[in-house]
Amino acid sequence: MKDHATDTVCGRVRSVIIVDDHPLYSDALSAALRLVFPGCRIETAQTLANALERIDAGFLPDLVMFDLKLPDVSGISGFQSLRDRIPDTPILVISSLTSSEVVQALMEQGAAGFLPKEASAPVLKQVLLDVSNGRKYVPKDYQGDSARAPAATPSQIHPKIAELTPQQARIMKLICAGKPNKQIAYELDLAEATVKAHITALLRRLGVQNRTQAAVLVENATAEAESSGDPDARAFLSR
């Protein structure tokens, strides 16, 4: 039978597992937990595998404090594995990886909260109380759309692309897809002569000589825009 004599009563956390491979930081978290939840049973694990072993052996914590960067974790899949194993247990992520993209993804995946590792002791205390009472926590800097640095667009990378009219932009997209004029005319319900006139105008606006040069310009701008975000966040979220 699972050891769940450590049930939460009135929001009080009676058992926690800290998953972090830095012993000094784990010790600091343990000290903070004992101040907020006196008598709390605290387990520590330096790897995700070790944490899952403890859980499989019967330890069902009321709260998990989880670091994203672990020796056996290479991306968000580590958090997902833990979330899947204990779906009803709040997981508070505490990490030095503080990209807004990562925070947003974690919250969408069911994290109880996110706290940067440099957070002060008073903030940590309040967050622990909030999470133990079923509330979500995200620092103000990461809340709402204003927290997300908008990804660069091709038109920002190459301003000339922004000068295209909406119809020219649609035609340019189809050119990049390798569609001939006849197919473009069919898909946009235009006369082929009209398509040719639009292409002549958009080539002039982009400052290129032909369709191939236009496609290369737009595709290069698109690739640069896609790579303009936080590289660590992209790498983390892709795993």
Structure tokens at 78: 């580590």
Structure tokens at 146: 């204003």
**Confidence (pLDDT) at 234:** 56
User: 146-149 long-range contacts, Cβ below 8 Å, gap at least 24?
Assistant: 147/100, 147/103, 148/100, 148/101, 148/104, 149/100, 149/229
**Confidence (pLDDT) at 9:** 38
**Confidence (pLDDT) at 6:** 37
**pLDDT band, very low/low/confident/very high, at 233 (cuts 50, 70, 90):** low
**pLDDT band, very low/low/confident/very high, at 164 (cuts 50, 70, 90):** confident
15-147 CATH, one of 3.90.1300.10, 3.40.120.10, 3.40.50.700, 3.40.50.2300 = 3.40.50.2300
Residue 137 pLDDT > 60: yes
- How high is the mean pLDDT of the chain? 83
Distance, in Å, from the CA atom of 159 to the CA atom of 224, rounded to the nearest integer, reads 13
Q: Give domain limits for the chain.
A: 15-147, 154-226
Return the CATH number of the domain spanning residue range 154-226: 1.10.10.10
**Confidence (pLDDT) at 194:** 95
DSSP 117-151: TT--HHHHHHHHHHHHTT--B--GGGSSGGGSPPP
Residue 91 pLDDT > 90: yes
